[in-house]
Each structure stands twice: as structure tokens, then as C-alpha cells.
Structure 1
Amino acid sequence: MHFLSLSATALLAFLASAATAAFDAASKNNVITYWGQGANQDRLLTTCQNLSYDIIVVGFVNVFPDQGAGGWPGTNFGNACWGDVYRNNGVNTSLLQTCPNIGPDVIECQNLGKKIFLSIGGGQPTDYWIKSNAYGKKFADFLWAAFGPVSATKSSIPRPWGDAGVDGFDFDIENLMDPAPQNDYQTSGYVAMINQLKNNLFPTDKTKAYYISGAPQCPIPDSHLSVALAKAWFDFFFIQFYNTEQCSARVATQKKNGNGQNDISYKKWTAQASKNPNVKMSIGLPASKDASIATSYYLTPAEAQTLATQFYANKRFGGIMVWEATEAQNNAPCNVDYSTWMKKVLEARAAGTKLDTNLRTCAGVKKRSLPHYHSHGAPHHHHR
């Protein structure tokens, strides 16, 4: 194995600190992953037991109540749920009812210091949308009652994960419809929905922090979330620097001229006006060659180190997001999973050190060949 150029004592200290450190929303060293769409994925708790992760985003709420049967939203968490759904007004909805391990795992993950977000949207299907601000507020109310703290419970709304409540909500909006149901369907309702969560539903007593994140594509402006960034509060942006050729992270590893490397639009993103001036923006990377639509978009740990070094000093830099947990687990250069490498990359940059130079010769990847569930790693036709 090749690890950081650290003594055994220092390595143990690193692992211990990763296990016990409290979550810091302002950190530049956070590692984020998505869980819920991995092929033959393990339980959520297994992902949480990986010391490298700070935030795990569970996806997806991929049917919106405006279009969902029975007037409720629908969910898809891959193999983590049975096929049964809740009924409303005598109609089968798309809201999954039996996901036996997710609720207990969320609670245990939080006991381990992890933050668990619920993601809304995703890359498939793409026919979801919010008709108006009023619908956006109602959507927020439903999600808060169904997946927020137990204190938010309403008798008319089910609790799919029981007593488990998330730490935040993520907006991975990638809808695309032809014909368009209305001119502003890609942006409609999100500002009102986020403001309802942030301003009216999240507790103000500060006993527990709740967060809002977004996962835009890398082109600027993002056709879905750029307006919301300026008008609604986001704590984090997990920018997908993959699936889109002109701004994939790969271009940052290619010398353009003698003046250095392309900025993959990251500097442009961090210069965007935002309601939260301190929003943290993480660079999203595919966790393996199979996690994006082109194998060339994948960065080795050494290349990711170069990228992190390039942007780490930016005041809005917030870490690295990897798509997704199962791909990261199965991709293990030098027998170290990809997400752990990303944590090592960030910690090394924070300490002003470099990864072991032997890493650059580490080409072996232990990877199982598995089928794929749909995910926001799937093709996005509007960006092809």
C-alpha cells in the first residue's frame, strides 16, 4: 500500500481525529458523497462508517407532488427499499413506504458525527417541476413533516424513515421537458421552497443546525439553480464538474498555455452573487471511470491533488464531492478507496504537504463490474 508520507503514529492520529472531529460547515476539507443510487449498494451505515465522509446526501425525491399520483412526492433509493408505496385519497402514490434500514442508519450515522441530507431531483426522470411559489412552499412543508425532526410530524403526512430526521435538503435539479409545461419550469418555485425551509420551518433556537445545498452542473449560468443561488440561502454548492465536456474537471489537468491551467469555471462559480456571501462550493468529481458518461472525466488521486491545490486558497472552497458512494467504495487505487484518497488530498493540502510520490505510479484499480441504477451521474441531454 502507498499512504501519505507519515509515520505510523501520525497516521493513527489522523484516523483518530477523523473519527472524532466535529462537523465544521466552514471547513475546506469536507468530503461529500451521494448514496441511494449505487449498483448493489451497501447499507447507508456502511458508507457512514467510512471516516472520510462529512456529509452523505441520500437521493432522490424524484417525483414532485405537482405531478405525483395522489398529490404526494415520490422517492427512489435504489435497492434500499421494498416496492410498496403509501396511499393518499385512495390512490397509490410514488412515495416508498418500506425502507427498513434507512431510518435506523440515519440516526446511527448522525451519532457518528455525519450530516445526512435528502436530495430533491436527480438526473432521471427529468419531468419533474414546481408550478408556482405556492406549490413550492407546500412541497417544503411536506418534506419537513415527512423527513424533518419528529417535532415536525403531522398526522396527515407519513414518516417514511420513522423517527429519523435529516440535517438538510439538497437540490439537484436537472429537469428537462419537451414541450415545456411553462416558460420558467426549470426555475419555478425553488426560491420560495428554499426560503420556506430556511426562514419558516428550520428552528430558530440554534440547538441544531439545518442546511441547504445545491448540486448544479458546471456550465455558467446553470439553467436551474443560478437564480436560486442569488435569491435563496444555500450553505453549500456541490458543483458537478463532470458529464459536461467544456467544464469537466479534466480540462483543469490540461495545460492551456504557459500561464498555467484552465480554471474549469470554478473561479467563475465562486464569483457568482449569492444570498449567502459565505456559501461553500465543493468540486464534484466522478468516483471512478464508470461514474460519469466519459471515462476521461475521471481524475486519479494525484490529479485531484493538483486540482485541489489550484483552488484551495479560494475563500469559498469547501472540499470535494464524489459521485457516488458505491463507485467510490469499489474504486481503490493502492487498496485505498477513492473517498479516503480525497480526504488525504485535502488534509495534505491543509498541512502544506504532498501525497506520497509513489501514488503517481499507482494505476491499479480494484473495481467490481456492476450494473447501474439511475442517478445524477447519468447523461444530461441538455448538456451533451
Structure 2
Amino acid sequence: MAFRRRSPCCLLAALVLSLLTAGLGAGPGDIAVFWGRNKDEGTLREACDTGTYTTIIISFLTVFGHGRYQIDLSGHPLNGVGDDIKHCQSKGALVLLSIGGPSGGGYSLPSSRSAEDLSDYLWNAYLGGSRAGVPRPFGDAALDGVDFFIDQGSGEHYDELARRLYSYNKNYRGRLGVTLTATPRCAYPDQRLEAALATGLFSRIHVRLYGDLRCTWSARESWEKWAAAYPGSRIFVGVVASPEADKDAYMSQKDLYYNVLQFAQKLPNYGGIMLWNRYYDKKTGYLGG
């Protein structure tokens, strides 16, 4: 992966990435980042043009499950995002839409019908489908999949949603068109996502080693439980890019490598690093700058 030239304040990040590559021979894996949480983070195109991220997770679809749907991009104008999505995809980046989120309370799946309706909406509004009367916020840009960031309510019916979304892959004639990922809390298991993950349809799991005091002092052990539980999924190490995001869970690049990554990389289903989020990464130069 090509990383753009770093300023002196970012040399430690570059050093850690070189350690990952040279020390263990496998490289850091994929680098995913959440985008859409602060208008000062810059555009989606700018994030992709850093050359750092292999996956951009647009966040969040914060309202669903009761006949209403709403996307919240923290003040980013929707105009132009579709072109940026296609630009990122042309550079080989995967672009996903994350549903749910850590705040708001405007989402749930109260019934099987609501799971069916959400699947139909996501397919026609953001993925490869189209239907009269269903607006496409990003125009004709088709996202590569859906991330489940379910941090509120019960976990009921998300397994049904996963199966319905995955079933759309039959429309892609031999290539995977709807990638499913999940972003659970680090304490295993995450009860809200347990049933959905049991479907075995999630290719990636981004384990959040932050936002949960139960994991502050056992980040590596918590992550390894997830890796052992889902050997068929690629498991990502999810970290904050600034102590401003979570001062208790923040790890310097050096600590991240020596405390977690050098061990995680040795496991066959290690996937890479997930950063929360683009705004903090841009501000601190943690990895992307």
C-alpha cells in the first residue's frame, strides 16, 4: 500500500507501519476508517486521496425500522458524495454504509417486516438496485456493502436483515456485490450483534477496542476472543486516532503495535486496523493525516 509523504509529526506513525511491514512480513493489512462524523474532516475524496485507507465507512444511517429513513453525515452536503464514492472505488477502495451508530436512538428492527423493509430500502437507495419512488441520496453510485454498528436497542431481526442483504449477491453474477461487516463492542459477545454474526455472512468484524471500560486493560485478550470465535471472518483491530475520542482507550502507535498488533498479525484471520475516525486521524496524523 502506498502511503503519502509524512510531516515530521507523523514520522512515528510511518515508523510503526514500517515495523508492521518489515517486522512480521505481512504488512498492516487493510486500513478502514469511519467518515461522516465531522464536517471539518474534509471530503470523502480527500480521505481516499491520502492513499492510506483501503476501506471508507460512511456513517451513519441513524433512523430506520419504523417506516422512516435518515442519514446523518454531520453537516456534509450530500451533493458530490456520489462522485466521491465512484472516485474512491476507482482507486480500489471499498466504500460501505454503516447503519445504526452510537447515539440518536432513532433505529431498531421491531419485526421481521421491518427487517425486510430496511433491506429493500438499502438495496434500492444505496446499493445495486433502483425503484421508482425510492430516492438515491448518492445518485447512481452503488456502495459496496453495509456495516452493522448496532449500539442501541435489542438485537432482534438483524440476522434476518443480514440474510436478506446477502441474498442480493445473486444479482451480481459470480462476484460478491454486497459485503457485510460489523462493528461490535470489544467485550465478547456483543449481544446486539450475536444473532446476526451467527449467520456466518459477515466477511469482516471491526472490534472496537474503545468505548468500553471492561476492555481498557485487556484489549489484546478481548480481541483474541473475537478472532477465535469467528475464524471465517477477517477481524480488525478498532482503535481511536486521538485521546480526544477516548482518553482511557487511546493507544499511541507504538503501544498499538507492541501491545496488540504484533500478536494479532500472527493469527490467520487478522484483517487490519479500523480507525475511529477520519476527523481525528486528520487532526493528529495518527495514520492517514
The two structures have a TM-score, normalised by structure 2, of 0.87
Correspondence for 2:261: 308
Matching of residue 216 in structure 1 with residue 195 in structure 2: no
Change (3 A) 1:208 1:214: closer
The 8 Å contact of residues 165 and 178 in structure 2, kept in 1 or not, is answered as no
The 8 Å contact of residues 62 and 70 in structure 2, kept in 1 or not, is answered as yes
Matching of residue 74 in structure 1 with residue 70 in structure 2: yes
Higher alpha-carbon Rg = 1
Q: CA deviation at 1:134?
A: 2.4
Matching of residue 33 in structure 1 with residue 33 in structure 2: yes
The 8 Å contact of residues 236 and 279 in structure 1, kept in 2 or not, is answered as yes
Q: When the two structures are aligned, how many residues end up with a matched partner?
A: 271
Unaligned 5+ runs, structure 1: 6-10, 15-25, 82-98, 177-185, 253-261, 332-336, 342-384
Q: For residues 230 and 339 of structure 1, what CA distance do their matches in structure 2 show?
A: 32
The 8 Å contact of residues 40 and 79 in structure 1, kept in 2 or not, is answered as no
Correspondence for 1:231: 199
Write the mapping of 1:125-144 to structure 2, written as runs, cut at 5 A: 125-144=104-123
The 8 Å contact of residues 169 and 175 in structure 2, kept in 1 or not, is answered as no
Matching of residue 265 in structure 1 with residue 233 in structure 2: no
Matching of residue 156 in structure 1 with residue 133 in structure 2: yes
Q: CA deviation at 1:340?
A: 4.0
Change (3 A) 1:207 1:232: closer
Q: CA deviation at 1:38?
A: 2.1
Q: For residues 27 and 64 of structure 1, what CA distance do their matches in structure 2 show?
A: 38
Write the mapping of 1:34-53 to structure 2, written as runs, cut at 5 A: 34-53=34-53
- Residue by residue over 1:182-232, the C-alpha shift from the partner in whole angstroms, topping out at 9 and shown as x without a partner, is xxxx11111111100112455341245431000000112212111211124
Deviating more after overlay: 131-140 vs 99-108:
131-140
Unaligned 5+ runs, structure 2: 1-7
Correspondence for 1:298: 250
Q: For residues 181 and 215 of structure 2, what CA distance do their matches in structure 1 show?
A: 21
What is the SS of the residue equivalent to 1:169? strand
The 8 Å contact of residues 195 and 232 in structure 1, kept in 2 or not, is answered as no
Q: For residues 282 and 31 of structure 2, what CA distance do their matches in structure 1 show?
A: 14
Correspondence for 1:165: 142
The two structures have a TM-score, normalised by structure 1, of 0.66
Write the mapping of 1:347-362 to structure 2, written as runs, cut at 5 A: none
Correspondence for 1:196: 164
Q: For residues 225 and 257 of structure 2, what CA distance do their matches in structure 1 show?
A: 20
The 8 Å contact of residues 241 and 284 in structure 1, kept in 2 or not, is answered as yes
The 8 Å contact of residues 98 and 146 in structure 2, kept in 1 or not, is answered as yes
Q: For residues 172 and 144 of structure 1, what CA distance do their matches in structure 2 show?
A: 18
Matched residues, percent identical? 25
Correspondence for 1:17: none
| Alignment partner of 2:286 out of 338, 341, 348 | 338
Correspondence for 2:3: none
Amino acid at match of 1:146: A
| Alignment partner of 2:242 out of 288, 304, 307 | 288
Q: For residues 99 and 253 of structure 2, what CA distance do their matches in structure 1 show?
A: 29
